[in-house]
Structure 1
C-alpha cells in the first residue's frame, strides 16, 4: 500500500491540471469518491507488506477502508537541493495537455547560493509529453548559450526518465 499517498496526490494533481488547462473542474466530493474507489480496489486486490508510519493507516481509516494487509510506510521528502559550490543547476520540465495536445515547458538556472540566474517558460503548440520534455531541455540549454553562461559548470535536473536515459545512451531517443 505504498501507493496510498501517491493515489491521493495524483488525483489532486490531475484535478489541478484539469482546472489550469481550462477543461472544467470536478466537485471535491467526486475527487474524494474516485480516491476512495481506487484505494478500495487496491486494498482488495493487492497483498503487500509495507512500512507504516501511521500515514497510510490513517488515510485508509478516514476513507472507511478496512485493510487486510499490514501497512508499512516511510515518508520521503523530495525537495530542490542547491548544487555544489561554483556549479549552477538547470532544472527543466515540459508537459502536454492530454499527452498529445497544447504543450509547454520551462527552465530555471540557479547558482550554488540558490539565486535564480535565468528562468523562462516556453509554448510548443501541440506535441507529446516526451517531446515537450526534450524541447524544454533544449530551450534551457539554448538560454545558457544565448546568455553566454556556457563557460560555467552546471548540472541538469529533470523529471523525465526517458530523457535522462536517452542522454546517457541507455535507450534510443523517441
Structure 2
C-alpha cells in the first residue's frame, strides 16, 4: 500500500514472503506496526520506513489483504474488479454506445496493464498511440458478437464513427394484443402487476379481484419502497393472494394473471428464491 512507506505499493519492490492471506489488521493496529511480524515479511530497511511513516490502522476501516493492490492505495476492499463492476452497472446497456461506455474502462485498464508489464519485463517503451489502437482493436473484436440493442440515441452515430464501429440495428419488440377473459362460474380471477421506476428504485404494485361476471370484488395498491421489478411483482402477487384469503376465498378457486413470466414460473413450479413468497406458499 502506498500509505505504508509513501513510495509505491510494497508488492512493487518487495518479494511476496509469508502467508499471502495475511490481513492488514494482523500486522498493524491502532497503536502502529507489529514489528515482530512485519520483520518476517519485508527487509529491515522497509520495516524502518514503515515505522517512520507512522502508519496506524483506524478501527472503523474495513480490512484488506497485505499483498493485494487497492485502487486508491489506501486501506480499502475496493479492488480493480469491484471498480469495473461498479462502472459496468452504471452503464446503460440498452444502447450500443452505453455498452461501449461500460466495457471501455475494462479494455483501457487491460491495455495499460499489458503495456506496463511489457515495459518492465521486456524493456518495451510505452507508446500511448499504440495503446489507443490496441484498445480500439479489442473494442471492435468484442462488438462483433453484439446484437439486439433497444435504442439509438442522438449523437450515437458520431461515437460509432470515431471508433470505426458498425452500428448494430435495434431490436424492435413485437406487439401482441391480449384481452381479459372471464373465469369459470366457480372461480374468481386475480390480476396483479408490480414494478419499479428503474431497477432497485421506488417500487409499487396492485391488483384487482373479479368474479365470473366481470364484476369487481376488491382491489388494492401498495408502495414497497426501494425494490427490484421482480420483487415488486412477487409482493403484488403475495398481497393479492392474502386479500383473497381474507375475503374467504379458497386459494384453489383463484385464477392468477400477471405479466411477469418469472413470477408465474416460480408459482407454477413451487420453487421460489424469495423467502416471503415461499413462507406464504407453505402456509
The alignment's TM-score, normalised by the length of structure 1, stands at 0.54
Seen in structure 2, the aligned counterparts of structure 1 residues 165 and 130 have a Cα distance that, compared at 3 Å, is same
Match of 2:208 in 1: 108
Paired residues for 1:57-96 under 5 Å: 76-96=176-196
Q: Deviations over 1:64-113 (max 9, x none)?
A: xxxxxxxxxx9752111111222110011110111111110001111111
On the 8 A contact 2:199/2:229 being kept in 1, the answer is yes
SS in 2 for 1:99: coil
Structure-1 separation of matches of 2:184 and 2:240 = 20
Seen in structure 2, the aligned counterparts of structure 1 residues 169 and 76 have a Cα distance that, compared at 3 Å, is closer
On the 8 A contact 1:108/1:116 being kept in 2, the answer is yes
Q: Which has the larger Rg?
A: 2
Tell whether 2:169 aligns with 1:42. yes
Q: Deviations over 1:103-128 (max 9, x none)?
A: 10001111111111111101101111
RMSD: 3.1
Match of 1:144 in 2: 244
Q: Which of 124, 135, 155 is matched with 2:235 structurally?
A: 135
Seen in structure 2, the aligned counterparts of structure 1 residues 160 and 76 have a Cα distance that, compared at 3 Å, is closer
Structure 2: segments with no counterpart, 5+ residues: 1-151, 157-166, 275-283
Seen in structure 2, the aligned counterparts of structure 1 residues 151 and 94 have a Cα distance that, compared at 3 Å, is closer
Structure-2 separation of matches of 1:83 and 1:156 = 10
Q: Which structure has the higher relative contact order (CA within 8 Å, separation 6+)?
A: 1
Match of 1:165 in 2: 265
Tell whether 2:223 aligns with 1:123. yes
SS in 1 for 2:190: strand
Structure 1: segments with no counterpart, 5+ residues: 1-32, 47-55, 57-73
Structure-1 separation of matches of 2:199 and 2:247 = 31
Higher fraction of strand: 1
On the 8 A contact 1:88/1:152 being kept in 2, the answer is no
Q: Number of aligned residue pairs: give it.
A: 112
On the 8 A contact 2:195/2:229 being kept in 1, the answer is yes
